Amino acid sequence: MEFQVESKDVLGRIGRLKTKSGVVETPHLFPVVNPLTQPIPPKEIYEKIGCKALMTNAYLVKKNFEEEAIRRGIHRFLDFEGVVATDSGAYQILTYGDVEVEASEIAIFQERINSDIAVILDIPTGLEATREYARWTVQETIRRADETLKLIKKRDVLWVGPVQGGIHLDLLAESAREMSERPFAVYALGSPTQIMEQYMFERLVDMILTAKMNLPLSKPLHLFGAGHPSMFALAVALGCDLFDSAAYALYARAGRYLTESGTLRLDELEHLPCTCPICARVSPSQLRETGRKLREKLLAEHNLYVCMEEMKRVRQAIFEGRLWELVELRAHCHPSLLQALKRVGSYSGFLEKHSPSTKRKGLFYFGYEGLARPEITRYKKRLFERYKPPTKANVLVLVPYQNDKPYHKSRPIRRILQEVSENRGVHVGVCAPPFGIVPIEIDDMFPVSQTEMPFPPDEKTFERTFESIVAYIAKSSYKSVTIHGRFEPHFEKLRDLCEKACKDGRKKFEVSYSGTEFWTDQALERLRRSLRSDEVSR
């Protein structure tokens, strides 16, 4: 059994998780099948909806159908040809406080029913847990993990090691490190359900990335209970590979209609904003007039189609290198998701370190939330760590951003370069949001010339751009800095910041031209006078 990654973007991965019953393509949502009340037969989930891997609750199966499940095996019991993952009953512990089974019993049972993927019986931390209780759940889950690993005999079952600790991030990190020392095929983040139910997605970002930073990156990460399509892109971008949820069925029971951007109520729908096989043949009024059981089944099918479609959309975004753009789009579905995306900025260094350095396509930069994306973080990092200005460059001339890229091919900047071409002491840099400063000799490198953005950008983008420029000036060996051209709409702020940085670094500073048409003969003459008056440039 192995996990092979075929494509990556941000921390999202298209991968192939091999099991004895087939391959699970990640990212993947396991629809949770309730053996007691299931609106869509598992066979239809496989043949009609096209989902080749699902999850069921081994505890409920054992409690209600133990002998039959052992005799027939879980695949025949469910009448499902694909991959079957089984949960252990931990959700029932979270909901009801306890289950009538020992960790050893449920582990042996999952082997006997021939599960493809099995979860140990962990102790969920939950949202309201005190620190003392959270620590106990971590320790008890580790104890149960060791107990289970000693008991298991079959080598063809992929065992899942849950990480506990909840919102107590230091305990969660400790749990992840301990679990990573155990030979699990898959790791899982436990206890997120209540957090997602209360739209605490900012906390979820902390939990996922804390776990991710302390687990082996070579193994898949499962996010328990995540079933709403609006948050798939964010969770995948943070490194989650597997999901499970019964939301498609639970929402259908409550008359709720899933979309990739939110949840609607059937009794309030005039039109069905979907073209899945269900929505293509019925109207909202027809659905409302249908008998309860059939209506629940049809809604559940629609909800599952939407979830599967969104997961495909996420995979395609990874393949194209457009996952971040999809995350931004979905983040605007709900304020809590947008707040969570802003929180991702706190982990920009980790995202940059483990995301691909090449892409199939360029970037779309929409606003300051995109400042955390790995490509922008990486450009700034490498500029400071690896780039050195030309050896004889004593004077930095800052010129404004141009829409034509690469910048050195735009007519205005070509004129500037012609003007200073004979003066080897002069170095030209472009003030380019969101990257900061772009030395002209590397302006065609990725992602500078491959980024599209609205102009002018937002206030925070300007702010971070200026911070980067000032930091570059502070660490540089230039003896003089000249701004040539008006960098709208915050020219005065840039001028003041650069002047202060030069003063602190004992560098000469001046503005040779403060208009917008910095390539005109008049403007170029001012630049010539400025450079002639600068002794260090001779």
In this prediction, residues 26-47 reach a mean pLDDT of: 96
H runs (alpha helix) in 429-482: 459-475
Residue 371 identity (one-letter amino acid) = L
Contact present, 223 and 9 (Cβ < 8 Å): no
**190 to 128, 205, 238: CA distances (angstroms):** 14, 14, 16
The pLDDT-based confidence of 424 (bands split at 50, 70, 90) is confident
The pLDDT-based confidence of 316 (bands split at 50, 70, 90) is very high
H runs (alpha helix) in 254-346: 284-289, 292-320, 323-331, 335-344
DSSP track, 508-537: EEEEEE-SS-TTSHHHHHHHHHHHHH-GGG
Question: For the segment 121-173, what is each residue's pLDDT rounded down to a tens digit?
Answer: 999 998 889 999 999 999 999 999 999 999 999 889 999 999 999 999 999 99
The pLDDT-based confidence of 96 (bands split at 50, 70, 90) is low
Task: Compute how many other C-beta atoms are within 10 angstroms of the C-beta atom of residue 491.
Answer: 18
Task: Compute how many other C-beta atoms are within 10 angstroms of the C-beta atom of residue 392.
Answer: 11
- pLDDT confidence of residue 535: 53
In this prediction, residues 453-473 reach a mean pLDDT of: 93
- Three-class secondary structure of residue 269 per DSSP: coil
Asked whether the whole model's pTM tops 0.75, one would answer yes
- pLDDT confidence of residue 227: 84
Question: For the segment 261-296, what is each residue's pLDDT rounded down to a tens digit?
Answer: 999 999 999 999 999 999 999 999 999 999 999 999
The pLDDT-based confidence of 534 (bands split at 50, 70, 90) is low
Residue found under tokens 């931390």: 125
The class of domain 390-537 in CATH terms is: alpha beta
The alpha carbon dihedral of 141, 146, 150, 153 has a sign of positive
Contacts of 190 (CB under 8 A, 6+ apart): 90, 122, 124, 125, 141, 162, 163, 164, 224
Question: For the segment 343-372, what is each residue's pLDDT rounded down to a tens digit?
Answer: 999 999 999 999 998 888 899 999 999 999
Contact present, 16 and 242 (Cβ < 8 Å): no
H or E element that contains 494: helix 491-504
Task: Give me the residues paired with residue 159 across strands.
Answer: 118
Residue 533 identity (one-letter amino acid) = S
Question: For the segment 336-346, what is each residue's pLDDT rounded down to a tens digit?
Answer: 999 999 999 99
- pLDDT confidence of residue 489: 82
- pLDDT confidence of residue 402: 87
For the domain covering 3-354, report its CATH number. Answer: 3.20.20.105
Question: For the segment 111-121, what is each residue's pLDDT rounded down to a tens digit?
Answer: 999 999 999 99
Rounded Cα–Cα distance for residues 535 and 531 (Å): 8
Rounded Cα–Cα distance for residues 416 and 412 (Å): 7
H or E element that contains 213: helix 201-214
* pLDDT reading at 242 higher than 90: yes
Residue 530 identity (one-letter amino acid) = S
The alpha carbon dihedral of 345, 219, 52, 112 has a sign of negative
* pLDDT reading at 538 higher than 60: no
- pLDDT confidence of residue 536: 45
Contacts of 488 (CB under 8 A, 6+ apart): 400, 456, 516
Which residue numbers are catalytic? 87
Rounded Cα–Cα distance for residues 298 and 303 (Å): 9
Give the strands of the sheet with 508-513, arranged side by side.
Answer: 436-439, 426-432, 395-400, 480-484, 508-513
* pLDDT reading at 298 higher than 90: yes
Would you list the domain boundaries of the chain?
A: 3-354, 390-537
Q: What average pLDDT does the structure give for the chain?
A: 94
Residue 68 identity (one-letter amino acid) = E
Task: Compute how many other C-beta atoms are within 10 angstroms of the C-beta atom of residue 281.
Answer: 9
Question: For the segment 182-241, what is each residue's pLDDT rounded down to a tens digit?
Answer: 999 999 998 888 899 899 999 999 999 999 999 999 999 999 989 899 999 999 999 999
Pick from 359, 438, 454, 374: which is nearest to 406 by CA? 438
| Tokens (6 digits) for 513 | 């031209």
Rounded Cα–Cα distance for residues 526 and 520 (Å): 10
Pick from 437, 527, 421, 444: which is nearest to 482 by CA? 527
Contact present, 121 and 162 (Cβ < 8 Å): no
Largest CA distance in the chain: 94
